[in-house]
């Protein structure tokens, strides 16, 4: 059904939008190359799934899952606050590997490679159209929240720390604390996106939370342009929609998957080289 197809795409756009702006906060505004961002997405998804499978109310599960993800953001910020550049990237990457390995192997808790299924959805959201509306309400609230943070003096401070942390400290700013907050908020929203994802698909397994998933999210932030939130919105739509024509070319699903990944990887390489500032980016990726 065409309708159902579009609703599906729109829901994905909504979820990836939240994930994208959360990365925009830590990467674009904070200048932190957090390659482990997908781990927060996964932690949120699994936390939500486990909570709701154990009977917790829907809204509470989402909230608590996001907070748990934020907590991991804080935990990660402790060792990484003093790191920069590719070293930071590698440590955060290492973090995401650890999370992945735990999700894959702690079978009794996470279901291992089989994941968790039959994640309940509340009855008032059982049809996809209502779920779509719900996702967009959350997405709009998230956008407003993050946009507010970035627009205030606090946001300018985050940017200042990105540009020159030492200079910020010489102005009396406690930069480590601010950086931690940046990661915490970023992780919170990534976890929120993860909860929505788990609730929508109703089934999750570790394979959704690997390096492969990171590529399109990174692509979104870079294509949209670092520090541009509107750019992130535009880029999310572009990135989610770009591989869709492949479906109409008659390829089988086992071909579309890898083709999509190839497309994303190539796009990322092309953008990094030709237009590293994307649509509306005001700064360069360092």
Partner 1 sequence: MLTIHNLTKHFGGVKAVDNCSFKIEKGKITALIGPNGSGKTTIFNLISGMVEANEGEIIFNGQNLIGSSVDKISNFGISRIFQQSRLFKNLSVKDNLLLALDNEDTKLWKNLFGFNKITDEKVVRVRKILAELNILDIENTLASELSFGQKRLVELARAILNPHELLLLDEPVAGVNPKIRNIISELIIKMKNEGKGVLLIEHDMLFTLGVSDYIIVMDAGRVIAEGLPQDIRNNEKVLEAYLGR
Partner 2 sequence: MDIFLQLLINGLVVGSIYALVASGFSLIYSTNKFVHFAHGGVIVLSSYFLYWVSAILGWDFYVASFLTILFATLLGYCLNKTFYQPLRAKKASNSVLLVASVAILILFQSLALLLFGADVKTIALPLSNHSINIGGAFITPLQIIIILVSLLLFFALRLLMQRTKIGKAMRAVADNKEVAEILGISAERIYGTSFAIGSAIAGIAAILVSLEQNITPLMGTSLIIKGFTGSVIGGIGSVPGAIVGSLFLGLAENFGTWFVSAGFKDAIAFILLFLFLLIKPQGLFGNKNNQK
Per CB under 8 A, the list member of 75, 90, 157, 242 interacting with partner 1 is 157
Question: Shortest Cβ distance from residue 259 to partner 1 (Å)?
Answer: 37
Per CB under 8 A, the list member of 15, 19, 35, 168 interacting with partner 1 is 168
By beta-carbon proximity to partner 1, the closer residue of 9 and 160 is 160
- Residue 166 in the binding site for partner 1 (CB under 8 A): yes
94 binds, among partner 2, partner 1, none (CB under 5 to 8 A by kind): partner 2
Write the CB contacts of 238 (distance below 8 Å, at least 6 apart in sequence): 223
What is the torsion angle, in degrees rounded to the nearest 10, for the CA atoms of residue 59, residue 60, residue 61 and residue 64?
130
Q: How far apart are the first and last CA of the chain?
A: 44
Using the rule CB under 8 A, give the single segment among 18-26, 83-91, 131-139, 184-192 that binds partner 2. 83-91
Question: Shortest Cβ distance from residue 282 to partner 1 (Å)?
Answer: 7
Residue ranges in 244-263 that form contacts with partner 2 under rule CB under 8 A: 254-255, 257-259, 261-262
How far is it, in rounded angstroms, from Cα 131 to Cα 173?
A: 42
The tokens of 190 are what? 């990534």
- Which of 83, 108, 86, 103 lies closest to 42, judged by CA? 103
Per CB under 8 A, the list member of 12, 112, 149, 202 interacting with partner 2 is 112
What is the torsion angle, in degrees rounded to the nearest 10, for the CA atoms of residue 55, residue 60, residue 63 and residue 69?
-30
Contact between 203 and 117 (Cβ < 8 Å): yes
By beta-carbon proximity to partner 1, the closer residue of 121 and 162 is 162
152 binds, among partner 1, partner 2, none (CB under 5 to 8 A by kind): partner 1
Helix (H, G, I), strand (E, B) or coil at 277: coil
Q: What are phi and psi of 142, to 5 degrees?
A: -60, -45
Per CB under 8 A, the list member of 152, 211, 269, 275 interacting with partner 1 is 152
| Binding interface with partner 1 (CB under 8 A) | 148-149, 152-157, 159-160, 162-164, 166-175, 177-178, 181, 227, 282-283
């Amino acid at each position: 059904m065409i309708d159902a197809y579009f609703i599906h795409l729109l829901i994905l756009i909504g979820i990836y939008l939240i994930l994208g702006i959360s990365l925009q906060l830590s990467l674009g505004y904070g200048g932190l190359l957090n390659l482990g961002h997908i781990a927060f997405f996964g932690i949120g998804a699994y936390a939500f799934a486990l909570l709701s499978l154990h009977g917790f109310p829907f809204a509470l599960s989402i909230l608590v899952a996001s907070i748990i993800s934020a907590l991991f953001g804080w935990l990660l910020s402790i060792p990484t606050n003093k790191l920069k550049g590719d070293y930071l990237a590698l440590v955060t990457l290492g973090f995401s590997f650890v999370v992945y390995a735990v999700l894959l192997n702690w079978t009794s808790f996470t279901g291992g490679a089989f994941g968790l299924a039959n994640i309940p959805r509340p009855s008032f959201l059982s049809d996809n159209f209502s779920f779509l509306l719900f996702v967009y309400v959350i997405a709009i609230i998230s956008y407003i929240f993050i946009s507010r943070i970035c627009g205030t003096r606090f946001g300018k401070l985050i940017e200042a720390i990105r540009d020159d942390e030492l200079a910020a400290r010489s102005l009396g700013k406690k930069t480590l604390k601010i950086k931690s907050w940046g990661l915490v908020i970023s992780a919170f929203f990534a976890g929120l996106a993860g909860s929505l994802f788990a609730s929508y698909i109703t089934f999750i397994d570790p394979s959704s939370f690997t390096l492969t998933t990171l590529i399109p999210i990174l692509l979104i932030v870079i294509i949209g342009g670092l520090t541009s939130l509107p750019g992130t919105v535009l880029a999310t739509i572009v990135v989610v929609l770009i591989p869709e024509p492949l479906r109409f070319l008659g390829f089988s699903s086992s071909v579309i998957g890898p083709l999509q990944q190839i497309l994303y990887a190539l796009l990322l390489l092309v953008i990094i080289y030709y237009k590293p500032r994307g649509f509306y980016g005001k700064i360069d990726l360092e």
